[in-house]
Structure 1
């Protein structure tokens, strides 16, 4: 039996503008908001359908959803997203088993949401659930309860059909609190760091056996820890957002879930059940050993903030859970953690609204799990919002180059380019490097590596342009384009090679070799770009990430490279 694993659909209903009645006008989000986000919005409407249609065509009926089904948990969006899944269940017999993501709910009481929607003339209207939200640059403001993101008490019942409660036909169902599925019985105490504030919080984890011999363990890794001194339980600011916390906060606040995981793993092994665990957040460092280099180059990034520390991975591996799927980061990655005889394999699943658009298919073969990564490049009506984007861009005097995309995957690749330009370079990169990058080429990077004396950013001007641009080389390639490819590889690993000219990859390898052959003081320009090239090579070479097998007895990950050679990843973080 094959199982589809999808993550982060972030479904947004483009046909219903919240607050103005069902069917009362298109609900297209602005291009400006899309360009500034790590995900696209309007395109999720058709991309989610294309994803589900592909699953149906392959004859798969069991689908794991690793969190963030919805755009931002808005009441009307939740209703539209669940209606879509329910429709595929009725028409095609799909069975969905989900875990909640940080965009699906917020703590107990929920939180306000505010979104800007395009008007026909390119202006935008603000729709918000918060009466105190200012109108800003929007031509109109609409206050609507439909925009409110619910807490556990409303979001989990809305998602209830996806394993959160017992269903007729399930062979087994339980949660960390026992076999009673009533939500009011599935709560625990969570305490602020100073020990002064105590809240009752719900944990929505569950174990279900939908078909004979298959145990699916949904782990609610959302943690909403109260902030010191915040006494109003209904305010968003009263909690630490789960977005960056993830599994790092699980050890401190949800030890009972880890104890339960260990018990589940032991019982699964004793009874011969096949066990797949999944949560929204990765439980192993998704940067696969490049965290030190990323910290050296970029200091503080969202990836680093969301990286599980080694102790988290060690404790998770000690539970006996061998296999874990995650979402959240919108990346394609496979990581292995070992600690003595314990091991854990984390398979990070991409999103259809971020580069690269893909999902996973898994199939058991004895003690082996075969994993296939399916890229969905073509989505019908992928350009449904493009005409609106062009009107907005013309009104605001900005580029609409992303609307020249020839497919959904091409659009996401172009969107990533704009993210690098408007988000990653100005917000993640040190200011001195961000200012320097537009002046540089790949040839300049080579020239830095060929310079024996340590360079500072201020010294770079004397070297820029000194590289020989030989015919047939990539020396004139703008460093900005190299950085975009770096992010493509960071997010897509092997899948990204479908979107990068092989000649570029060959040139990057030569540049990386030049940096690997040298040694410079930490903090020098060569040292910083050396980190950059080391990470690129690690993402190119260190792991099978598209189609592979996992030996669940040993933790060995095996695949075939493009030459048909066996590639193994036996060790990861330790």
Structure 2
């Protein structure tokens, strides 16, 4: 895709380019926007202003690194350290492509601490000033962890000897730990975060053609920047929390940064009173659909106004609006349990229906750290809602999305995967110090040092996912016998099992369990089923590209063999394996998620093949 720049001017004080809007109106170029989600930015060289702790000295840079331990990274669904460099790499990539409109759908920081918010502010200001890039943010559950902020802390900063150091805003925050104190690790709330990042969508800018929030009239014809700025204060954007008389801020907004395009930023965060404090939720729109009912009414108004004026409306939030497991979530709940695999975060059909009826047609989301495209057709109105899951830069697959608008009803979406990231290995020697500490203390949670042999950032995040699967996902999310047998079955075993009845299949699988670790693995297929499952679940087409062709061919033929495989609830393990492959098949045969086109007029998704002129229509489901 050829990137084409727009003559955008970043507001620095009262400066405004003469004739800006008229020049934009005259542009005949394609509009391009980038979506970078779940950056989880942490300042890896933060000034902590702490007398007790500076960080760990890095000889490569001559500076103290304020990084989290590798042990903590390998127990988390996100990286804390190397994603800092991945974010810079993505911005450099966009700069070279000439893309100037950039959307960050939440979790742009890791827990909204001053050190991280200010680091993000500095990076965005730099790219805005130097390259005239504009950024539009919405909040995620890791940005205002609490709506009004509060004392915060982390136990797992890497200390000079390789041990972990607790850091908090108060010495008593971790009662059983030796705590270093720094105000930089406290939580900021909406007021502090939006004020620091005010230039990035949360408030109107002079460059905008139009800007509004849910608590004011949509007066497009009478729009006045100064009046919009006066009315955009956070204390004028409040709603009453559920089961409480207290008011909470809602940072949602709609903005027209270039002629003809409206960006609808939905703040999907939900908080509940917890004594004198507040607790946040990561569930998303399943709760926001009732807790923020005012948003739905506002969305309806925005949609009608956009349609009346011929605007292309693009919705984005931290949270998804459609099932992001290729319609396999109900089957996953049946097999794994409703509280496993973060399945509580999957929007219900009722939730998807509400937002589809409100008129949202295309929605970009993050939160899940996966690559996916979902589609929902509302039964009564017939309206179709497309949900594009933007992967995280802090997890596998590390990627971002580019949306190109060749015409108002047509959307070309490409997924740009980060492979090479400059300075990716900047802390690897420090992790080796940590590894020595763990060995000396005989810590049972030692991590596998092979992750430090990663060829590039893609390989690094893949290794992160594999170790996380082994140490956390399998023990907590999987039925024990199912996980064990999946790691033992060979290709020949699976072909034999596929031709068996339920009782014979159960006996065969139980015998395989008895032979666990007693037989040599006859092929490189054995032990790869769970790995391939996560590559598909998290990466979709990006993950599928990493599965060897020989295994892909086997899966395609194997799915056909299972069409007539009986299922008996009394044969527990056999039934679990049948269900697993049913889910696996749904993830395998997904909607396009790499490079594709959404035709809103025809309600079609078409996959781009290697030749850009060749389009393959994917049937709706």
Q: Same fold (TM over 0.5)?
A: yes
Counterpart selection for 2:237 from 186, 195, 213: 186
Structure 2: distance between partners of 1:323 and 1:475: 47
For 1:80, the equivalent position in structure 2 comes to 119
Aligned residue-pair number:
550
Whole-Å Cα distance in 2 between the matches of residues 455 and 74 of structure 1?
57
Corresponding residue of 2:460: 411
SS of residue in 1 equivalent to 2:528: helix
Which residue does the alignment assign to 1:167? 205
Distance 1:97 1:85, change over 3 A: same
Report Cα offsets for 1:315-340 as digits up to 9, x if no partner: 10111121110000011111111124
- Per-residue CA deviation, residues 205-239 of structure 1 (Å, 9 max, x unaligned), is 0011112222111010111133xxx431xx2xx43
2:358 matched to which residue of 1? 319
Shift of 1:18: 3.0
Aligned pairs for 1:367-386 within 5 A: 367-386=409-428
Aligned partner (choices 524, 533, 543) of residue 591 of structure 2: 543
Decide whether aligned partners of structure 1 residues 412 and 150 sit closer, same or farther in structure 2, where only a CA change above 3 A counts. same
For residue 541 of structure 2, what is the aligned residue in structure 1? 494
Give 1:507 shift. 2.3
Q: TM-score, normalised by structure 2?
A: 0.84
CA contact (8 A) 1:440 1:464 kept: no
Contact 1:449 1:518 in 2 (8 A): yes
- Residues 241-280 of structure 1 mapped to structure 2, 5 A cutoff: 241-243=280-282, 245-280=283-318
Q: How far apart, CA to CA, are the structure 2 residues paired with 1:100 and 1:455?
A: 53
Distance 1:346 1:10 in 2: 22
**Which of 141, 165, 170 is matched with 1:125 structurally?**
165
Q: Which residue of 2 aligns with 1:26?
A: 65
Q: Deviations along 1:421-468, whole A, 9 cap, x unmatched?
A: 0111001112333454444444434443233133687863425699xx
State how far apart, in whole Å, the 2-side matches of 1:408 and 1:546 are: 19
Residue 275 of structure 2 is aligned with which of 219, 231, 234?
231
Measured in 2, the distance between the counterparts of 1:550 and 1:414 equals 33
The Cα offsets for residues 454-491 of structure 1, whole Å up to 9 and x where unpaired, read as 3687863425699xxxxxxx963465422011101101
- Residue 349 of structure 2 is aligned with which of 310, 327, 336? 310
Where does 1:520-531 land on structure 2 (aligned, <5 Å)? 520-522=567-569, 524-531=572-579
Residue 174 of structure 1 deviates from its aligned partner by 0.4
Q: Cα–Cα, structure 1 residues 553 and 418, in superposed 2: closer, same or farther, change >3 Å?
A: same
Where do 5+ consecutive residues of structure 1 fail to align? 467-473
The gaps in structure 2 that reach 5 residues or longer are 1-30, 56-62, 217-227, 440-445, 516-520
In 2, Cα distance between the equivalents of 1:78 and 1:442? 50
Question: Using the alignment, how far apart are the partners of 1:553 and 1:27 within structure 2?
Answer: 50
- Residues 1:452 and 2:490 aligned together: no
Structure 1: distance between partners of 2:604 and 2:468 = 35
Two-structure CA RMSD over aligned residues (Å)? 2.3
Alignment of 1:56 onto 2:120: no
Provide the rounded CA distance (Å) in 1 between the counterparts of 2:175 and 2:130: 42
Where does 1:111-122 land on structure 2 (aligned, <5 Å)?
111=150, 112-122=152-162
Residues 570 and 70 of structure 1: CA distance in aligned 2, closer, same or farther (over 3 Å): same
Offset, 1:160 = 1.4
Conserved 8 A contact 1:74-1:113:
no
- 3-state DSSP of counterpart to 1:401: helix
| Structure 2 CA distance for aligned equivalents of residues 146 and 437 of structure 1 | 46
SS of corresponding position for 1:104:
coil
Mapped to 2, the partners of 1:456 and 1:305 lie a distance apart of: 32
| Aligned residues of 2:487 and 2:528 also touching (Cα < 8 A) | no
